[in-house]
């Protein structure tokens, strides 16, 4: 897994960011979970590459299909039909589902269009929706959508992992002090 990223500019920064996520959450004694679609497990793979990650990473869900999103994370079929798999309501349900189906305090979800095909006028390649759910603090659930430039499938997935790590660190810094 790691070899495929070593030629991507910024890989060392991403590996450092993964280590920072693990270090930050380990120091606070909190566990995390992931719910991944377009990244297919890359977030979890980068996190578990870090020594000591077993103290932090509770589990990850790779829910590439709509069926998996519904069965594993409880994403409502109505949300998938009404909004599509790449939408903030689905990202929110994925994050909440990962949180309730784990022993984690924080869960991050990603669902998007990495390309090269699959985009549309309203959801072009590079559209990625994120969800963040927490049991700590106020039980916050937030969503956001990024429109990454079409830098190729690998690049979009790389940027998605980077943003997911940003969300974990934001959660740790703002809600767990």
Can you give the pLDDT at residue 1?
Answer: 45
Q: Residue 9: pLDDT band by 50, 70, 90 thresholds? A: low
As a whole number, mean pLDDT of residues 69-97 equals: 98
pTM, to two decimals: 0.92
Closest to 148 measured CA to CA, from 131, 133, 130, 165? 130
CATH number of the domain that residue 13 is part of: 3.90.950.20
**H or E segment at 168?**
helix 153-175
State what percent of residues in the chain have pLDDT above 90: 85
Can you give the pLDDT at residue 176?
Answer: 44
Residue 75 belongs to what domain range? 2-117+124-158
Beta-bridge mates of residue 84: none
As a whole number, mean pLDDT of residues 138-145 equals: 86
In a domain, 174, yes or no: no
């Amino acid at each position: 897994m790691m070899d495929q990223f070593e030629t991507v500019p910024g890989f060392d920064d991403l590996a450092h960011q993964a280590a920072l996520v693990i270090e930050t959450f380990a120091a606070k004694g909190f566990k995390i979970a992931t719910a991944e679609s377009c990244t297919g497990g890359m977030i979890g793979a980068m996190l578990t590459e870090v020594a000591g990650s077993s103290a932090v990473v509770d589990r990850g869900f790779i829910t590439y299909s709509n069926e998996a999103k519904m069965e594993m994370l409880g994403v409502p079929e109505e949300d998938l039909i009404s909004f599509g798999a790449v939408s903030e309501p689905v990202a929110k349900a994925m994050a909440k589902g990962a949180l309730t189906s784990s022993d984690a305090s924080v869960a991050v979800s990603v669902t998007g269009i990495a390309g090269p095909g699959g985009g549309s006028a309203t959801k072009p390649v590079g559209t990625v929706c994120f969800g963040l759910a927490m049991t700590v603090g106020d039980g916050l659930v937030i969503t956001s959508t990024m429109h990454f430039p079409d830098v190729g499938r690998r690049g979009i997935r790389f940027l998605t992992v980077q943003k997911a790590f940003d969300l974990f660190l934001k959660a740790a810094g703002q809600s767990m002090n």
